């Protein structure tokens, strides 16, 4: 059954931008990434008919990226960086029900589990903005291995395709690599466990990880479980203006 795409709500636009920036701020506060590297995020909106008109946003494109600080530039696209993960956020109607979807569209990594980490930041954002579904195309060199490893939170899925009784390899063939995560109250706990498993595989002595990155990631995860990523404080400190903005809204995407 074909899906029907709808416009984003104004609250969703705000939540996506705010939470994407908050995730970057929290990771940077924990100093998970080394001082010579920059973690940033770019949030772009696609408007109906390509014209920036309020309440006419069809989807948001969010890209988390990491690269050497000296190579970061406002003129660059996230895809030009060594490590990035992009996702599209949109509303659709499936089988008569409205669904808020995150579609992870592209991941690039220089290794050392950085691409996995950025993918998990994308999943975290999807959870924070209350996406019902997170989807991706498993186009790795070894789809079955990825499906049982880095994408193990996802299950093979394609609308109208029956995969009952097939093994994982056959399911991925039938669905052309399409995978889906349906979120619920237990997804955050599962996400934390997956990031913990990833942490065991990183070499924190190699870039772009900071000193004692593994312990810092564990602290970051505890904060997500305890506060949902929000720190309780009596007084908010004034934010220091960065030399480079962590996100940009100066381009319009047209692929959603």
Instruction: Give the pLDDT of residue 54.
Output: 79
- The vertex-151 CA angle with 25 and 247, nearest 5°, equals 25
Q: Find out whether 254 and 46 touch, Cβ atoms under 8 Å.
A: yes
Q: Could you read off the pLDDT tens digit of each residue along the chain, which spans 256 residues?
A: 455 568 999 999 999 999 999 999 999 999 999 999 999 999 999 988 777 777 789 999 999 999 999 999 989 999 999 999 999 999 999 888 899 999 999 999 999 999 999 999 999 999 999 999 999 999 988 999 999 988 999 999 998 899 999 999 999 999 999 999 999 999 999 999 999 999 999 999 999 999 999 999 999 999 998 765 444 434 443 333 333 333 344 333 444 5
Instruction: Give the pLDDT of residue 113.
Output: 95
What are the residues whose beta carbons fall under 8 Å from the beta carbon of 200, sequence distance 6 or more? 214
Instruction: Give the pLDDT of residue 52.
Output: 79
**Torsion of Cα atoms, 33 then 12 then 138 then 189, to 10°:** 60
Instruction: Give the pLDDT of residue 228.
Output: 57
Instruction: Give the pLDDT of residue 256.
Output: 52
Q: Find out whether 207 and 171 touch, Cβ atoms under 8 Å.
A: no
Looking at the whole model, is its pTM more than 0.75? yes
Instruction: Give the pLDDT of residue 225.
Output: 84
Q: Give whole-number Cα distances, 161 to 116, 139, 158, 171, in Å.
A: 28, 18, 5, 10
Instruction: Give the pLDDT of residue 240.
Output: 32
């Amino acid at each position: 059954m074909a899906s029907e795409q709808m416009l984003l709500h104004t609250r969703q636009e705000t939540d996506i931008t705010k939470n994407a920036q908050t995730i970057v701020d929290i990771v940077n506060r924990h100093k998970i990434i080394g001082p010579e590297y920059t973690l940033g995020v770019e949030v772009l909106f696609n408007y109906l008919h390509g014209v920036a008109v309020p309440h006419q946003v069809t989807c948001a494109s969010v890209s988390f990226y990491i690269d050497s600080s000296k190579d970061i530039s406002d003129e660059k696209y996230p895809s030009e960086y060594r490590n990035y993960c992009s996702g599209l956020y949109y509303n659709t109607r499936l089988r008569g029900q409205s669904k808020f979807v995150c579609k992870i569209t592209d991941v690039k990594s220089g290794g050392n589990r950085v691409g996995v980490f950025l993918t998990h930041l994308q999943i975290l954002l999807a959870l924070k903005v209350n996406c019902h579904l997170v989807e991706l195309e498993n186009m790795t060199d070894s789809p079955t291995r990825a499906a049982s490893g880095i994408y193990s939170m996802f299950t093979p899925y394609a609308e109208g395709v029956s995969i009952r009784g097939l093994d994982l390899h056959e399911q991925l063939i039938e669905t052309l690599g399409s995978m889906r995560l349906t979120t619920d109250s237990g997804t955050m706990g599962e996400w934390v466990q997956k990031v913990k498993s990833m942490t065991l595989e990183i070499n924190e002595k190699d870039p772009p990880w900071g000193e004692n990155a593994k312990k810092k990631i564990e602290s970051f995860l505890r904060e997500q479980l305890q506060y949902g990523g929000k720190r309780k404080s009596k007084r908010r400190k004034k934010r220091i203006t960065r030399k480079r903005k962590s996100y940009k809204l100066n381009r319009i995407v047209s692929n959603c």
